[in-house]
Amino acid sequence: MKGYSELTEVEKKAIWNALDAFIENTSQKKAIYAEAIATLAYYRLQRHPVWRRNPTKTQKNASYKRWKGICQYPPCKDKTPIDPKKKNLHYHHRSRGIPDQHGPDNMVPYHRHPCHTNEHKPKKKNNQSRSARGSGLGGARSS
């Protein structure tokens, strides 16, 4: 099995085409606008109990407890728990598109600034392995 980061551009395109075909076929079969089906599919995925892209508050709390609120960005030397009431706590996903992606072993607390910002800032040209990271469905919030 592959996770999101291992998908090739060809595989991503094939999945998009299959999704588009599902929406168009359902639209034809059920006499419902494709736009309505796409909106419903989007809402379903946003709130899906397993596949949702964003963590629930319960999942965030479990991660905070597991890591005692301490930033897990490897270069970070600050071992003080991050105050969840201040706006500098961000939950970072080590991988996306894997089972239990919002579980505490994969989703870890980071300082929003500078740690999470540094983790995701564009890398130099000699490290292109991460450049495709932001592409894909939605592209809204980063990990």
What is the C-alpha to C-alpha distance for residues 48 and 53, in angstroms, rounded to an integer?
Answer: 8
Binder among 60, 102, 111, 116 for Zn ion (CB under 5 A): 111
Smallest distance from the beta carbon of 85 to Zn ion, in angstroms?
17
Which tokens go with 105? Answer: 């072993």
- Binding-site string for Zn ion from residue 54 to residue 93, where x marks contact by CB under 5 A and - marks none: -----------------x-x--x-----------------
Compute the distance between CA of residue 61 and CA of residue 58 in angstroms, rounded to an integer.
5
Residues paired with 93 in a beta bridge:
107
Range in contact with Zn ion (rule: CB under 5 A) among 13-21, 24-32, 92-100, 111-119: 111-119
CB of 64 to Zn ion, least distance (A): 14
Phi, psi of 89 (to 5 degrees): -100, 130
The CA radius of gyration of the chain, in Å to the nearest whole number, is 18
Give 26 or 88: the residue with its C-beta nearer to Zn ion.
Answer: 88
Q: Which residues of the chain form contacts with Zn ion (CB under 5 A)? A: 71, 73, 76, 111, 115
